[in-house]
Homo-oligomer: A and B are copies of this chain.
Amino acid sequence: MKAELIFTGTELLLGHILNTHAQYLGIMLSSMGIEVGLNITVGDNRETMISVLQQALARSSDLIIITGGLGPTTDDITVEVVAEILGLPLILDQESLKNIKRIFQDRGTIMPESNVKQAYLPRGAKILPNSVGTAPGAILEFKNKTLMILPGPPHELTPMFEDVVMAYLSRKIANDEVIRYRNFKLTGISESAVQDLLKDIGGQGNPGIAYMAKPGEIQVRVSARGGAPDQIDKLLEDFAGKVKWRIEKYIFAYDDDILEDLVGKLLMEKGLTIGVAESCTGGLIAARLTDLPGSSAYFKGGIVSYSNEMKNQVLGVSMEILNNSGAVSKETAEAMAAGVRAGTGADLGLAVTGIAGPAGGTAAKPRGLVYIALAADDTTICREHHFPGIRMAVRQGTVNAALNLVRQYLLDVIRET
């Protein structure tokens, strides 16, 4: 199966936003064995969009995915243009309208008239409900081609793609090859260092390895493909096992795991609460933990202690420790963890202190050095990390490693320091 992707949005052409769909869909489709042959980005311009879409229909791709332009405003014209080119009338979909109205109701407001537009979809389309926003997606089968219209915002596209589109595509290619993959999420190591660790392991063909980097995180995606599911599973497990063995100490999550989800669920299951003291991450750990609805059940509170005074006065870290060991030290991290545990009355105290850079590093305590400590009633654990990269990478890497420390503790993987 060959695919072509069309991204709509003048903001993409102007560079106001970075096109992350190109990478996300490229990885997801190729991991399913679907070859992406071309990507096009077009502005919110009727004429250009029509010509781009007509050319795409004239080429040999089996699948055309169009993202964006599904909003309620007059510059959102994707659905209209597709319907016009395919010669299909737009029909009001009552289910989609109900969903849009419900979303506004949940927000405590009434749906503006302009949003009705989002419920008009081409006749014969398979409609893809949007679990997060108002714009439904659509799939159209047209002359041996599959056309998909998906929403622009990544937090709407991602669940729609993974919940519905992948299953639809899998069924279409069911008589074809089967592809399986395992994903390892790493932190505390650079992309080139991961590649060095794995350079002689293979993975250029089947099984295959792909890499994806974002600040504080490297993903290593291992895939295997073939005709017989059992054989593929074995091929994948053997190869993934070899890969994992080499990179295990950097792994903080597997597959599509979201760390704050895992940690939240484990805390709920065990009836435990957590408090967080942050220095170099400046509130990012608390923000991640409270990203989830219902997190108030287990999140007791957080302290962002940028200054020594606050470490001392609010968290009770002694001036002796701060002066002798320094603000970035195992001793300070452990005292911060104990202090936030006591101060918030939580069962677990999590603390981080480190040097995010660009300034502040020394030969003895270089940029990227971070201590992460967890205090519980039975133990105190502390880990030393060295994160590569820019300030943002050090901060995000620290968040991943800190949440992973809590996950490992709750899973009983680790007990002592």
Bound Cα distance A71, B194 (Å): 13
Contact A282 B293 (CB under 8 A): no
- Among A168-176, A243-251, A356-364, A406-414, the stretch that binds chain B is A356-364
- Among A82-90, A330-338, A386-394, the stretch that binds chain B is A386-394
Contact A304 B276 (CB under 8 A): yes
Please give, as numbers and ranges, the residues of chain B lying within 8 Å of A415 by CB-CB distance. none
Contact A13 B40 (CB under 8 A): no
A378 touches B (CB below 8 Å): no
A283 touches B (CB below 8 Å): yes
A98 touches B (CB below 8 Å): no
Bound Cα distance A153, B218 (Å): 13
Shortest CB–CB separation between residue A178 and chain B, in angstroms?
Answer: 16
Contact B132 A390 (CB under 8 A): yes
Given A283-B287, A284-B283, verify A13-B42 contact (CB < 8 Å). Answer: no
A73 touches B (CB below 8 Å): yes
Please give, as numbers and ranges, the residues of chain B lying within 8 Å of A19 by CB-CB distance. 19, 22-23
A353 touches B (CB below 8 Å): no
A318 touches B (CB below 8 Å): no
Bound Cα distance A112, B357 (Å): 21
The count of chain A contact residues (Cβ–Cβ below 8 Å) is: 110
Copies of this chain in the oligomer: 2
Contact A17 B212 (CB under 8 A): yes
Contact A192 B114 (CB under 8 A): yes
Please give, as numbers and ranges, the residues of chain B lying within 8 Å of A291 by CB-CB distance. 282, 391-392, 395
A164 touches B (CB below 8 Å): no
Given A40-B40, A191-B73, A196-B112, verify A11-B212 contact (CB < 8 Å). Answer: yes
The contact string, 1 if C-beta is below 8 Å from chain B, for chain A 297-321, is 0011111111101100010000000
Contact B13 A344 (CB under 8 A): no
The contact string, 1 if C-beta is below 8 Å from chain B, for chain A 1-13, is 0000000011111
Given A293-B358, A300-B310, A314-B343, verify A11-B73 contact (CB < 8 Å). Answer: no
Please give, as numbers and ranges, the residues of chain B lying within 8 Å of A24 by CB-CB distance. 15
- Among A44-52, A137-145, A225-233, the stretch that binds chain B is A44-52
A366 touches B (CB below 8 Å): yes
Please give, as numbers and ranges, the residues of chain B lying within 8 Å of A210 by CB-CB distance. 10-11, 14-16, 44, 75
User: Given contacts A73-B191, A106-B367, A290-B304, could you give 11 more A-B pairs where the C-beta distance is less than 8 Å?
Assistant: A10-B210, A11-B212, A13-B26, A17-B214, A22-B41, A39-B41, A282-B289, A293-B358, A296-B307, A301-B303, A302-B303
